[in-house]
Every structure is written in structure tokens, then in C-alpha cells.
Amino acid sequence: METQALRRDAVGIDQVVKVYGEGASAVTALKGVSLSIADNEFFTLLGPSGCGKTTLLRIIAGFEQVSGGRVFLFGEEIEQLPPNRRPVNTVFQHYALFPHMTVEENIAFGLRRLKRSDTEVKKRVGEMMEIVRLSGFAGRRPGQLSGGQQQRVALARALAPQPKILLLDEPLSALDLKLRQQMRLELKQIQENTGITFIFVTHDQEEALAMSDRIAVMSQGEVQQLGTAEDVYERPSNRFVADFIGDTNLIEATVLGEDGPDRRRCRTAQGLELTASGSGDPGQMVHLSIRPERISLVAGIGGSGTPCTIDRIIYLGTNRQVLVRLADGAPLTLLVPNTSGSTLEPGSAATISVAPGAARQLRD
Amino acid sequence: MASPQRHDLKRYPGFGAVTWACIVLLYAPMLVIMIYSFNELRSITTWGGFSFAWYLKALNNPQLHSATFNSVVVALVAATLGTILALCAALAMTRGRQLKHQSASFALLNLPLMVPEIVTAIGSLVFFLAIGIQLGLSTIIIAHTVFCIPFAYLPIAARLQGLEGYFEEAARDLYATRWETFRYVTLPLTMPGIISGYMLAFIVSLDDFIITNMVAGPGATTLPMAIYGMVRTGFTPEINAISTMMLLVSALFVSASYLISRRGASS
Amino acid sequence: MAALIATGNSQQESAAGLTARQRGLLLLPALLAIAIFLVLPLGFILVYSFLTKGTYGGVVWEFSLAAYEQFLFERDLFTDELVFHASYLQIYGRSVLQALVATIACLAIGFPTAYYIATRPAAQRNMWVFLITVPYWVNLLIRTVSMLFIIRDEGPLNSILLGIGLISEPIRLAYTDFAIGLGLVYSYLPFMVLPIYAAIERFDFRLVEAGHDLYADRWTILRQIIVPLTRPGIVAGSLLVFIPSLGSFIAPDLLGGGKNLMIGNTIALQFQSSRNWPFGSAAAVILLTLVLIVLVLFARRAQQAAAEQGRQ
Ligand SMILES: Nc1ncnc2c1ncn2[C@@H]1O[C@H](COP(=O)(O)OP(=O)(O)O)[C@@H](O)[C@H]1O
Ligand SMILES: [Mg+2]
């Protein structure tokens, strides 16, 4: 990555390696990660637990030293800066609210350390409590708040000193579903209003898709794909990303021939013929991903589709997940809208057809 | 109808009775001595009516005054020094990854608890005489400080171990310097441990007889030494009165530390 | 020494923002205080035990094994021959026995007590623990004095027994070996109860239900389930009673009837009226060795037990 490019970014991460421990017990948490995060961006690190998200965040915050590579903040290399000298604040995974201080004292903590005047601290704390809608709770201790309220205090405390960059480590994971969905919106709004760069860590793909400007999908200490929500969902670059983000059918197929630039006619092992985006010479084995909602289903046999048998129907509310078997018994998962008067029955015959462009070839 | 107790699988017959016997064993001697401290008569056996006479006598005994003064000074200084040393050691041992000699350091910190008191006592005596330190209050304070360390260390370290590192990280994240982090986060959150460690050290120092008696030298007498001397020369009800007062001081201490630890646990 | 303790990258900060070097510096004062004022004195004792006794106390810097000889032999005044005598061995034997008996008695009282407390409703437990803890905070000397007070010939215990006609003349309790044992139990009983209580409180009582489900009766369950699983607490409590009992001074001194009653008194005596420092040092070295052996044995067993648990 160009050092020149890194200088323009809010955060530049260049070939960062992190090894915990020594000798036989050494764990490599990051294996050469490079990222550039623009100013004012809502950037998400998404990946399964243990893939190194927290480690990367802690390196940016200054709690861990890199084993290799460089980290830049607005073009400055920050290796030598202790956490208290970085214009970065963190919303910790378990909030880390100071239990011996009130809500007000917690929020004021950073401002006091920055030696802001009493009037300014007071004003700013009031503003923050209003933003996170906790105005009546100034004198409470963290132990007297609900999980959602604690989460908002943690957010207010980290925002109060007006950092250039806010790091959020799975801040919503401890909340229940309704609250989580509501907080997604609020977080996004706060990010847009303040213009602070958010680096948001989550293992919840839905969360990542809903909020992020860009997402870095991580696995085992490496960035697997970097792109917008649409990029990573519609155009997963490899099997891991396709599998991790959303549900998908992973199918092996053989390339039959060209069907336009970057389009190939393929036949799956089950004899399903379709056009997939990708490359390859005829006869080559490839992996395809087909999203369940991109396969349509009609009851009964007929038309141009492929016949199948309905195995099981799972009711999901808005949608129904339908598990079908093709003629040779190979399974496939479909997602169909839950329209009323549907005549689908387990055991009955049906016909599926794959929308053009739905199948994508994947790298390993 | 079977009584519900017969179905309580956890219950063992007789355990309750043993518990009550245990309480009686622990408290009866102290209660008796308290009651007899109000006995008008010099006789230890017969009750001659209620009186504060022995308290007055004890409170007016000038030897006891200086012994009490010495004991309190020694306990204050030794507990303070011991707690400071223990706090520093506990910070070093708990804040961060394992040190290179962590388990050896831990063993050394707890050594004063392992060595029988009488051995520590004569060891200190021999050592102080050998290197030519004048026996007196200062040698008592040195010896007490050393054996106060583990008593203060254990509750402080326990508290620090329970204190997750992320509070301190949060403080550093919010622009606190190392010192501010310690001052505003680590120290207040460790305070319940420090207070109970200090009180434990204070009581243990106030309590000590064996080591004190060896390293005191001729001039310095502490309260336990004075009481021991009185018991050796003959049992008078005055001893009952002194004992009762010391019992009450101890009870006050326990109650205070109990309340503090409960407050600490709830926060 | 700080550099010795420091590990890895000395620039690396810990959570509190302390570098390994700073942590070494923080640890140093406490370690030095203990090394200088406890370990060094123990070294002095070891050296003194091999020196010659001075006439008015103190030592003469001349190597001698006399102190250790004195344990087993007596020098005949006239023939200057060494004659075997067992009185010091007896003191050690009696001390070990007293400490053992006190430990067993404490266990017999302490286990049921700890169990009973641990099975009370949670709200009551704190109060019980508080009751057991209070005596621990009370001056040991005063507690021993109060025990002496009630068991004296003319003390309240005898007057009550006489009064209800159970005995016709006072029974001699004070200044006996029994009194020493009683004093030791009284002194160290809380040390037994508290660790066992902690172990039982963590014990998962669903195992008791499982045991009953498999047709075990109460006492089988106690022997085969509860005791084995709370053994660490029982062992800790036993050590906490046995070790201070072995080296005790106050209980034998005030409650016992003689001078050379237990090891602790023997040692103290050598530095007071007897003025035989090498012998007192040797006695202390032997006591310390006994204690170390007990501790090492138990630590070994605890390690083995932990390893076995790990394998399971
Ligand atoms: N302090 C540490 N010491 C040793 N290994 C660690 C430490 N912190 C994290 N790891 C290891 O590094 C890897 C990445 O951890 P982490 O960054 O916490 O992942 P995530 O936040 O994505 O769940 C994991 O394998 C974890 O076990
Ligand atoms: Mg994490």
C-alpha cells in the first residue's frame, strides 16, 4: 500500500502482524492486515469470534503493540503514542463503565483529563446525556442502570471528548433484539450528525450490512474482502465470505462454455444448468454460490425449470425457508416470500428456476 | 405426616448441635470474663454486686497508659508501612502478565505466614543484636511491618485480581495519564481491599505477643506484654476489665470491616 | 533485581500502564523487607545452631555440633561421656501429638459447623460467618487468659459443676495437657471452620441429589461425595490449625503446668533464662524443618490431586 495514500486516511493500517505469546504457545492473531479507513466513514470489521477484530481495535487504541507493520492516524505513525495521547475513544465490549462513579462523572471523565473548564464540562456532559436520552439519570451509578442504558452511557462517555475516531467493540451484542435494532439506527444517525469516523466491530452480519459504509470481512487474522454492504453480499469474493454473510447454497459445477465477458455457462453435479458470473475454461471445476432468495419456486412440474421434491418448509414469519431435493437427492435451500394461499406441501413436487446472474463463481 | 425436615437431603442430625456447641466454646470464656469484670469483689469466684471499680483501676494505671500508647503507635506505623509495601507488591503482581519470578515472589511475600511465630521471634532477636540495632520500639515496628505484609497483601491482591484490566484501559483511553489512572480508577476500586488489609494488619500487630516480647528490649512494653506480666504475677479482676475493653475494640473493628466489605461487594 | 523480574519487552505496558521494569521496582521494597528482616534472620539461626554457646547468652564463633547433640545425648558431668536421653525428643513428640489432637478436635467440631452454616439460607450465612470470625480478631492472649479464668480450680466451670452436685471437689483442669489442648482448639478453631465453609459453599448440592437417586444413604454420601469434593478446604483448615499449634507458645505457657511443655516454650526458654542460643537455634531449625516437610508434603499431594482432576 502506498504510504502517500495512507497519509490522507483517518486510519491507515499497513501489513500489521500481531503475535501473542512466545515459542510454542504463540498465537498469530493478525497475519498482515492492510486497511485504509477514510475520514467520516462508518467502517465495520466483521468476522466470526476469534478472527482478530478486537486485537486490531486494541492496536488502534494503543493497548497492544504491533509485532510487525505500521499504523497511521491521519498520516502520523502512532506507534510511540500511549493510549491517552491518541485522539481515539473506545466503546468497550463490556462497556467498562467506572462502577464507583455516577453517570455524570463517567461522561465527564475524559473532559476532566483534558483539563476542560468546569463550565465546558458541564455543558458538554448535558449535551451528551441529551443525545443518548439519559438526562434524568445523571446521579445514578452504572450498577443501577439496565444494559441498554449502560450501553448509552458508554457511548456518551466515548463521544464526550469529541474524538476524531470512535472505536466500538461489539457494543450491541449484550442487548436484546428490539433494542439492538433501534440502537443501530441511533448509532448511524449519531455518526452522520457528528462526522466522527466510526470503526465498528461485530460478528453479526445483519448489523454490519445495515449500518456500514464499508465492511472488512475478516477470518483467521486476515481480511477476506473489503467493500460496501452490497459488494460483500452480492459479490462475495470467496467461499468464506459467501458462507459467512447471509445464507447461501454452495455448489460444485463444471464450466461448459463462455456466455459473454465474465459469464460462463455451467452445469452442476446434479445436472442443473445455469449461467454464472466468473471465468474459467470449459471442463474446469468451479464453486458457485446461489442465494436462496434468488431461486424461485412454483408448485407442480412444468415450464423451463428443474423439477424437485419439497423436503421441508420452515416458517420464518416474513419468509418461508424451503428445503428441496433435486432428482438425484442433492439438497438446495430456497427462501420464498410468505404470500397467503400458498399451496406448497412437504413431499409434493415443484419446479425451481435460478434467476439470471444469481449464481456466482467463488475463489476458495 | 412426615416433617419436611426428614426429606431435606442436605440435613445431618447433630450438626446443628455441634455448631451451637462451637459457638458456646468460642464465646463462653469471653462472656464470662466480661461479666466478672463488673464484679465488685476482688474474689474471682463469688459475685459481690455490680461495679465499675476495676475499670477505673485499669484506666488509672499509668503502666497501662504507656503500654497502650506503645501498642497503638506500633500498630499504626507497622500497619501503614506494611499496607503500602503490600499495595505496591500487589499492583506489581496483578497488573499485567505474569512476572518472570511470579510464584517465587508470591512465596516470599507469604513467608511470614509460614514461619512459626516463635522462630521469627528469636530470628529477629538474634539478627537485631548481631547487626547492633538497639532493641526497642523501632525493632518492634520493623518486625511487625514484615509480618503485616502478607496480611495486608492477601485482601488487596484478591481485590485487584477481581478488578478487570478494562477499567484502567478505559481510563487511559479517556486521556488519563498513568498517575491519573491509578489515582481515579485503580485506587478507588481497590479501596475496600486496602481498608480490610490495613485493618487486618493493624489488629495482627496489636495482637502480637511472641515476637514483640522477644524484640522489645527492656524499655518498650506493649499492651499484650503488660497483660502477660499481670497474668503471670497473679490473676486480678483488673485483667478482666482490660480484656473486656480490648474485646470491645476488636468487636468494633470486625463490625467496621464487615460493613466495609459488604459495601465494597455491593458496589 | 528489578531487571531480573522484568520480562519480555520492557517497553510493553500492562493494563495499568506499568512497564515490566516499573512493576519490578514496585515489588522490590516488600520483597527486600522480607528478605532482610525474615530470611536473613532465619539464616542467622541456622548459622548460630552450629556455634558454641556463650557463657552469658550469645554465641562464641566456634563450630560445634553440641546443640544438635543435646537433643539426643546428655554429657555426663563426671565422666564427660555422652549418655542418651530422650527428654527433648519427648517434647517434640508431645508437641506433634498435641498439635495433631488439636487438629482432629478442630476438624470434629469444625466440619459439622462449616457444613451446617453452608446449608443455612443465604441471608443467614453471613451472620454465622461473622460469628465465627469475631473471635479470630480478638487478642489471642486475652482469649487464652479468659479460658484460663473459667477452667481454674476456683473458676466458674468448677463452681457450676460443684453447685449442681456433679462433682464433690474441684477437678484439676488448668495447668494440664488437657488444658493446653483445649487452649489450642479454642485458639485456632476459626481457622478450621472458615476454609471448610468456603469449600462447602461452592459445593454443588445437586450431586447429593444424584447420590440419593442412586440409593446412597446420608452417611455414605457424606463419606463418598461431600468429603472428597471438599477436601482442599479440609486440608487447608487442618494445616492452618496444625502449623501454629505445633509452634505455639501462649497456650502451653499460660495453660500448661511446667516450663518445657512444647517446642515453642523450649525455644523461648533458651533465649530467656537458659541462655543457650545455639540450642534454641537448633530447636528452631528443627521446628522449621518439620513445618517445611508438612507443607511440602501437602503441596505435593495438592499438585497430584490437581493433575488427576486435570486428566479427568
Ligand atoms: N491477550 C491475549 N493473549 C493471547 N492470545 C490472545 C490474546 N488476545 C487475543 N488472543 C487470541 O487472538 C485471537 C484473536 O482474538 P480477538 O482479537 O479477541 O478476536 P475477536 O475479537 O475477533 O473475537 C484469538 O485466537 C485469541 O485467542
Ligand atoms: Mg472480540
User: Does the structure show a pLDDT above 80 at B2?
Assistant: no
Could you give the CA distance from residue B184 to residue B181 in angstroms, rounded to a whole number?
6
At residue A277, the pLDDT reads 84
pLDDT, residue B1, reads 42
Mean of the pLDDT values across residues B55-70?
A: 89
Q: What is the mean pLDDT of residues B101-114?
A: 90
- Asked if the model's pLDDT at residue B266 lies above 70, the reply is no
Q: If pLDDT is split at 50, 70 and 90, which confidence band does C11 have? A: very low
Q: How many CB atoms lie within 10 A of CB C71?
A: 17
Q: Is residue B148 part of a domain?
A: yes
Q: Touching check for A65 and chain C: CB below 8 Å?
A: yes
Contacts 24+ apart (CB under 8 A), B95-98: B95/B160, B95/B165, B95/B168, B95/B186, B95/C14, B95/C15, B95/C16, B95/C18, B95/C23, B96/C13, B96/C14, B96/C15, B96/C16, B96/C18, B96/C20, B96/C23, B97/C7, B97/C8, B97/C14, B98/C7
> Average pLDDT for residues B227-237, to the nearest whole number?
85
pLDDT at C292 over 50: yes
Query: Are B140 and B178 found together in one domain?
Result: yes
pLDDT tens, residue by residue, A168-185: 999 998 888 888 888 899
Task: Please give the pLDDT value at position A123.
Answer: 95
The enclosing H or E element of A314 equals strand A306-315
The DSSP letter of residue A355 is P
Assign residue B247 the CATH number of its domain: 1.10.3720.10
B156 and B203 within one domain: yes
- CA–CA separation, C92 and C266 (whole Å): 10
In a 13 Å sphere around the CA of C21, the CA atoms on its Cβ side amount to 5
CB atoms A99 and B267 under 8 Å:
yes
pLDDT of the residue at C17: 60
Average the pLDDT over B183-212 and give the result: 91
pLDDT of residue C8: 39
* Per-residue model confidence (pLDDT) at position A201: 96
Does the pLDDT of residue B259 top 90, yes or no?
no
Please report the pLDDT score of residue B84 as a whole number.
97
Tell me what pLDDT residue B173 has. Answer: 94
Q: Give residue C231's pLDDT.
A: 87
Q: Contact, B89 vs C31, CB < 8 A?
A: yes
pLDDT tens per residue, range C134-162: 888 888 899 999 999 888 887 888 888 88
Q: Is the pLDDT of residue C111 over 70?
A: yes
Enter the pTM of the model. Answer: 0.82
Say if residues A319 and A335 touch (Cβ distance below 8 Å): yes
pLDDT of res. B6: 52
Please provide the DSSP assignment of B167-224 as one string.
HHHHHHHTT--HHHHIIIIIHHHHHHHHHHHHHHHHHHHHH--HHHHHHSTTT---HH
Tell me if chain C has a CB within 8 Å of the CB of A85: no
Whether B36 and B95 share a structural domain: no
- Does A63 sit in the ligand 1 pocket, CB within 6 Å? no
* B12 inside 8 A of chain C by CB: yes
The two counts, helices (H) then strands (E), for chain A are 9, 20
Cell of A109: 471523565
By Cβ distance, the residue of B167, B175, B188 closest to A113 is: B175
Better-predicted residue by pLDDT, A304 or A187: A187
Distance CA A142, CA A123 (A): 21
Give the separation between CA A243 and CA A324, rounded to whole angstroms: 19
Cα–Cα distance measured from residue C255 to residue C178, given in angstroms and rounded to the nearest whole number: 9
Residue A32 has pLDDT above 90, yes or no: yes
Task: Return the best residue to mutate from A55, A204, A205, A219 for the ligand 1 pocket (most ligand atoms within 8 A of CB).
Answer: A55
Do B47 and B59 lie in a common domain? no
Rounded to whole angstroms, the Cα distance separating B180 from B184 reads: 6
Note whether A16 and A42 are within 8 A (CB).
no
Examine residue B6 and state whether it is found in any structural domain, yes or no: no
Residues 76-105 of C with CB under 8 A from B: none
Are B22 and B85 contained in the same domain?
A: no
Report the Cα B46 to chain-centroid distance in Å: 35
- Which tens digits make up the pLDDT trace of A328-344? 778 889 988 887 666 77
| pLDDT at site C309 | 67
Q: Residue A139: pLDDT above 80?
A: yes
Contacts of A85 in chain B (CB under 8 A): 175
More confident residue, B39 or A69: A69
Ligand 2 centre and the CA of A47: distance in Å? 10
Phi, psi (5° rounding) for residue A297?
Answer: -135, 130
B18 domain-assigned: yes
With contacts defined as CB-CB under 8 Å, which chain B residues touch C13? 96
- Grade residue C5 by pLDDT with cuts at 50, 70 and 90: very low
> Phi-psi region for residue A40, left (φ > 0), alpha (ψ -120 to 50) or beta?
left
**A197-202 and A165-169 strand pairing:** parallel
Identity of the amino acid at C232: P
Looking only at the bridges linking them, the beta strands covering A306-315 and A349-354 are: antiparallel
Residue B109 has pLDDT above 50, yes or no: yes
- The amino acid that residue C234 corresponds to is I
**What mean pLDDT value characterizes chain A?**
89
- Cβ of A22 within 8 Å of Cβ of C8? The answer is yes
% of chain C surpassing 70 pLDDT: 93
- B5 is a domain residue: no
More reliable by pLDDT, C264 or C206: C264
Judgement on whether residues B31 and B153 belong to the same structural domain of the protein: no
Which chain A residues are closer than 8 Å to B170 by Cβ?
90, 92, 96-98
Identify the pLDDT of residue C7: 38
What is the C-alpha separation between B154 and C190, in angstroms, rounded?
A: 18
Give all strands of the β-sheet with A88-91 in edge-to-edge order: A88-91, A165-169, A197-202, A42-46, A214-219, A222-227
- C-chain residues near B169 (CB < 8 A): 15
- 3-class DSSP state of A277: strand
Residue C19 is given by DSSP the state B
pLDDT digits (tens, 9 = 90+) for C227-259: 888 888 899 899 989 999 999 999 999 998 776
Domain definitions of chain A by residue range:
3-243, 247-362
Which atom belonging to ligand 1 lies closest to the Cα atom of A169? 21
In a domain, B201, yes or no: yes
| pLDDT for A195 beyond 60 | yes
Measured CA to CA, the distance from residue C197 to residue C117 in angstroms comes to 7
Name A18's bridge partners. Answer: A30
* Burial class for A165, CB neighbours closer than 10 Å (0-12, 13-18, 19+): buried
Mark whether B148 and B201 lie in a shared domain: yes
3-state secondary structure of A151: helix
Please name the residue of chain B whose CA is at the shortest distance from the CA of residue C187. B26
Question: Does the residue B4 lie in any domain?
Answer: no
Q: How far is CA A195 from CA A40, A163, A190, C183, C208, in A?
A: 5, 10, 8, 74, 60
Minimum-distance CB partner of A96 among B167, B175, B177 = B167
Query: CB contact, 8 Å: B205 with chain C?
Result: no
Torsion of CA C264, C265, C268, C269, to 10 degrees: -150
Query: Which carries the bigger pLDDT value, residue C161 or residue C33?
Result: C33
Total domains in chain B come to: 2
Q: Does residue B150 fall inside a structural domain? A: yes
Question: What would the grid cell of residue B149 be?
Answer: 505484609
Query: Which CATH architecture does the domain made up of A247-362 adopt?
Result: Beta Barrel (2.40)
The string of pLDDT tens digits covering residues C49-102 is: 999 888 777 888 888 888 888 888 877 777 777 777 778 888 899 999 999 999
Q: How confident is the model at residue B51 (pLDDT cuts 50, 70, 90)?
A: confident
pLDDT tens for each residue of A86-124: 999 999 988 999 999 999 999 999 999 999 999 999 999
Domains and CATH numbers, chain C: 90-311 (1.10.3720.10)
Total Cβ atoms within 10 A of residue B55: 18
pLDDT value for B90: 94
Q: How far apart are CA A13 and CA A77, in angstroms?
A: 10
Asked if A84 and B176 come within 8 Å (Cβ–Cβ), the reply is: yes
- For residues B86-113, average pLDDT: 89
Classify residue B183: in a domain, yes or no.
Answer: yes
> Exposed, middle or buried: residue B76 (CB in 10 Å: 0-12, 13-18, 19+)?
middle
ipTM of the complex: 0.88
Band of pLDDT at residue B43, cut at 50, 70 and 90: low
Do B42 and B121 have their domain in common? no
**The pLDDT of residue C1 is above 50:** no
pLDDT at A193 over 60: yes
| Least confident among A317-331, B196-210, C98-112 | A317-331
* Same domain membership, residue B238 and residue B141: yes
CATH code at A3-243: 3.40.50.300
Rounded CA gap, B171 and A110, in Å?
8
The domain in which residue B40 lies consists of: 12-51
Average of pLDDT values for B6-18? Answer: 80
Q: Which of A294-298, A308-312, B154-158, C212-216 has the lowest mean pLDDT?
A: C212-216
Average pLDDT, chain C: 84
My answer on whether B141 and B234 are in the same domain is yes
